[in-house]
């Protein structure tokens, strides 16, 4: 499936999402970037349109669509000029609660999902830890059994939107690593109230996307009931893995949409800006980097849509999803860089938006997995090369 084979339903999704995004102009996103104010009205409009639940079953308040449709939604949001400030504000809702749908009980699904998909409940997802990073099996946050349920204590980092969350999906160790058969065993997934008497969330000052904050969490004796456990105890790592490929695809298309937004602005500027009596777009030194970026973005989108289509068909898509994330992140970054350079000195000015986009373009190169780890995956799993670490 390619970007040029979208059916009528897909184009209708693009148009509907674009209409919502059109209400939020560059001034709106500049203001969120300057103040750090969360884009509440934008999220409320997306929730009212039913887009937060686009990839969830209708039985729980979703639209019953797939990853292809979710990718179209997120690319359209980023491409509107919202970039990651808009995409990240709703990203977690799109696939974040999937472990609840796939592994939770029917009672949990009915109790949790409709309120998440409507926007009534606001969730954050806590996995990464300061001393573990990409090595998820090394997390030390501990969930200890009690008569009433579990008590969770530990630290998490880079937890998005914890300042506004009233719910938390958290991965914690229920069996010490040294007692587990494998390092990835003994991790369990919990969904519970974000109890601010037991969780202290400290925002992390960062390079871009100020409106959607990331946090360090300090968790001390967080009491959760037995029914907060999602699925089986000790199987949390497996549950997390099930959502990695969709997340890579969504990061890819968000970066692609951001790159397209920057490229569009650069092309327009290159047509209008006259130096030495001619538009700067006549100069190949300006035109060629922009043309190259267009090619890279198109190619990356083809891989992302292929991965999404494979996922929706229930087929193996690990290589394609990882490749899409790598290609999308790189293409988005290079397009934003080319856009800044095409603007010359004005590219460094906030007025033209591309400096904001350039700062945000770094996100997909770093998260949720590094470029180097993706290349490791491809080298080992696709090419059959020996593991390097």
Question: For residues 253 and 341, what is the distance between their CA atoms, to the nearest angstrom?
Answer: 23
- The structural domains of the chain, with segments of one domain joined by +, span 3-103, 123-235, 240-382
d(CA 258, CA 83): 5
- Asked whether the CA dihedral 85, 358, 22, 69 is positive or negative, the reply is negative
Residue 272, both tokens: 């209008």
Please say whether the structural domain 240-382 has been given the CATH code 1.20.140.10: yes
DSSP letter for 357, please. Answer: H
The CATH classification number of 123-235 equals 2.40.110.10
Q: Under a CB-based contact definition with an 8 Å cutoff, are residues 156 and 216 in contact?
A: yes
Selection from 155, 156, 141, 158 nearest residue 204 by Cα: 158
Peptide bond into 186 cis (omega under 30): no
Tokens of 101: 């749908």
Q: What is the pLDDT along the chain (389 residues), one digit of tens a residue?
A: 444 578 999 999 999 999 999 999 999 999 999 999 999 999 999 999 999 999 999 999 999 999 999 999 999 999 999 999 999 999 999 999 999 999 999 999 999 999 999 999 999 999 999 999 889 999 999 999 999 999 999 999 999 999 999 999 999 999 999 999 999 999 999 999 999 999 999 999 999 999 999 999 999 999 999 999 999 999 999 999 999 999 999 999 999 999 999 999 999 999 999 999 999 999 999 999 999 999 999 999 999 999 999 999 999 999 999 999 999 999 999 999 999 999 999 999 999 999 999 999 999 999 999 999 999 999 999 999 999 88
pLDDT value at residue 4:
57
**Cα separation, 132 vs 140, whole angstroms:** 8
Among candidates 179, 202, 189, 70, which has minimal Cα distance to 136?
Answer: 189
CA torsion angle for 46, 47, 49, 50 (degrees, to 10)? 120
Tokens of 183: 């390092």
Q: Identify which of 40, 95, 92, 17 has the alpha carbon closest to the alpha carbon of residue 62.
A: 95
Task: Tell me which DSSP letter residue 56 carries.
Answer: S
Cα pseudo-dihedral 224, 226, 230, 232, rounded to 10 = 130
Provide the whole-model pTM: 0.96
Whether the Cβ atoms of residue 50 and residue 60 lie closer than 8 Å to each other: no
How far is it, in rounded angstroms, from Cα 158 to Cα 214? 5
Q: Please, which residues have CB within 8 angstroms of residue 53's CB and are 6 or more apart in sequence? A: 60, 61, 62, 63, 93, 113, 116, 117, 118
Q: For residue 366, which of 147, 209, 139 has the smallest C-alpha distance?
A: 209
Residue in 80, 33, 25 with CA at minimum distance from that of residue 262: 80
Measured between alpha carbons, how far is residue 145 from residues 104, 136, 205, 224, 263 in Å?
19, 21, 35, 10, 53
- Token pair 């090369």: residue: 385
- 149 φ, ψ (degrees, to nearest 5): 160, -110
Cβ atoms of 216 and 168 closer than 8 Å: no
As a whole number of Å, the CA-based R_g of the chain is 21
In whole angstroms, how far apart are CA 176 and each of 113, 129, 132, 234?
31, 16, 15, 10
CATH number of 3-103: 1.10.540.10
What is the pLDDT, as a whole number, of residue 5? 72
Locate all alpha helices (DSSP H) within 78-127, ordered by sequence: 83-95, 98-103, 106-117
Provide the token pair at 22: 């059109």
Residue 249, pLDDT score: 98
How many CA atoms, within 13 angstroms, populate the side-chain half-sphere of residue 223?
Answer: 4
Cβ neighbours of residue 283 closer than 8 Å, sequence gap 6 or more: none
Within 10 Å of residue 368's Cβ, how many Cβ atoms? 18
């Amino acid at each position: 499936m390619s970007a040029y084979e979208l059916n009528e339903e897909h184009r209708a999704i693009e148009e509907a999402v674009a209409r919502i995004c059109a209400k939020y102009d560059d001034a709106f996103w500049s203001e969120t970037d300057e103040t750090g104010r969360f884009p509440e009205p934008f999220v409320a409009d997306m929730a009212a349109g039913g887009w937060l639940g686009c990839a969830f079953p209708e039985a729980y308040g979703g639209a019953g669509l797939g990853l292809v449709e979710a990718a179209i939604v997120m690319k359209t949001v980023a491409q509107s000029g919202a970039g990651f400030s808009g995409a990240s504000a709703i990203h977690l809702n799109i696939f974040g609660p999937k472990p609840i749908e796939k592994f939770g009980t029917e009672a949990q699904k009915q109790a949790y999902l409709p309120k998440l998909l409507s926007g009534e409940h606001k969730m954050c997802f806590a996995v990464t830890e300061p001393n573990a990073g990409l090595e998820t099996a090394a997390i030390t946050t501990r969930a200890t059994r009690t008569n009433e349920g579990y008590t969770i204590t530990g630290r998490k980092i880079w937890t998005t939107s914890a300042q506004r969350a009233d719910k938390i999906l958290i991965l914690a160790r229920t069996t010490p690593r040294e007692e587990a058969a494998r390092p990835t065993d003994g991790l369990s997934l919990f969904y519970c109230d974000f109890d601010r008497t037991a969780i202290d969330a400290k925002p992390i000052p960062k390079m871009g996307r100020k409106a959607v904050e990331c946090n360090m969490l300090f968790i001390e004796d967080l009491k959760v009931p037995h029914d907060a456990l999602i699925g089986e105890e000790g199987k949390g790592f497996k549950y997390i893995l099930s959502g990695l490929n969709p997340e890579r695809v969504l990061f890819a298309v968000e970066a692609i949409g951001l790159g397209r937004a920057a490229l569009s602005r650069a092309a327009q500027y290159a047509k209008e800006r006259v130096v030495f009596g001619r538009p700067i777009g006549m100069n190949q030194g300006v035109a060629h980097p922009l043309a190259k970026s267009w090619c890279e973005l198109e190619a990356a989108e083809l891989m992302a849509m292929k991965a999404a289509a494979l996922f929706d068909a229930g087929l193996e898509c690990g290589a394609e999803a990882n490749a899409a994330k790598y290609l999308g992140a790189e293409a988005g970054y290079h397009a934003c860089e080319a856009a800044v350079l095409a603007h010359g000195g004005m590219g460094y000015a906030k007025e033209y938006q591309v400096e904001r986009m350039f700062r945000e373009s770094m996100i997909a190169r770093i998260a949720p997995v590094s470029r180097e780890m993706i290349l490791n995956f491809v080298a080992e799993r696709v090419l059959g090369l020996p593991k390097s670490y």
